[in-house]
Amino acid sequence: MTDSNIAIADTLRDRARAALDGRNLILVGLMGAGKSSVGKIVASQLGIPFIDTDHEIERVSRMTIPELFARYGEQEFRDLETRVIRRLLRQGPRVVSTGGGAFINERTRQHLKSGGLSIWLKADLDVLWDRVSRRDNRPLLKTENPKQTLENLMTARYPIYAEADLTVQSRDVRKELVAREILDAIIHAREAL
């Protein structure tokens, strides 16, 4: 990286951090949207901690997400998710990557809205399917037709994700580009006020 690129990156980081004004940056969206992978890059660029709520839930429960779903069901999992997220949002600023269903739960969504700046990483079906079909750890996709299930989740959830403060398109480009677009969105949202 050249000296001028470093200066630009420092300026972008400083402007985005100022725009966040000490708040958490919360990434929402469907599984496969890039919340964790892009979120880690954004956190690194901002110089603040990154936390993945699913990993934190697994840590405190000592169970994987699929195990929690199998043993307790989705409702009990969502209740635990709400408690963990509420606790995590008290500390900050940090970049928080949420599970795909977190923003859908009304109680959790209210905590997320009051706990920081939310950004929806929006992706089309083909991008999501390409990403999630590589792994077999998605409890909600354990169906006869997982791609159709994913499309059904999009139909049901996208209107709710649209309530996020900002939207950034997740697509098949370098993660660093999407991360930069997130920083730009934070800055432009602040400047628009």
Per-residue pLDDT of 111-143, as tens digits, reads: 999 999 999 999 999 999 888 877 766 656 676
Q: What angle do CA 3, 8, 13 make, to 5 degrees?
A: 125
Query: What gap in Å lies between CA 190 and CA 18, rounded to an integer?
Result: 9
3-184, which class in CATH?
Answer: alpha beta
Q: What is the pLDDT of residue 62?
A: 94
Spans of all domains in the chain: 3-184
Looking at the chain, the whole-number percentage of residues with pLDDT higher than 70 is: 89
Q: pLDDT band at residue 69, thresholds of 50, 70 and 90?
A: confident
Q: pLDDT band at residue 26, thresholds of 50, 70 and 90?
A: very high
Ordered DSSP codes for 5-52 = HHHHHHHHHHHHHHHHTT-EEEEE-STTSSHHHHHHHHHHHHTS-EEE
18 Cβ contact partners less than 8 Å away, ≥ 6 residues apart: 190
Q: Over the stretch 74-96, which tens digit does the pLDDT of each residue have?
A: 889 999 999 999 999 998 899 99
Query: What gap in Å lies between CA 77 and CA 26, rounded to an integer?
Result: 20
* Residue 34 contacts residue 64 (beta carbons within 8 Å): no
Cis peptide before 93 (omega within 30 of 0): yes
* Residue 47 contacts residue 9 (beta carbons within 8 Å): no
Nearest to 48 by CA among 95, 9, 15: 95
48 Cβ contact partners less than 8 Å away, ≥ 6 residues apart: 17, 25, 92, 93, 94, 95
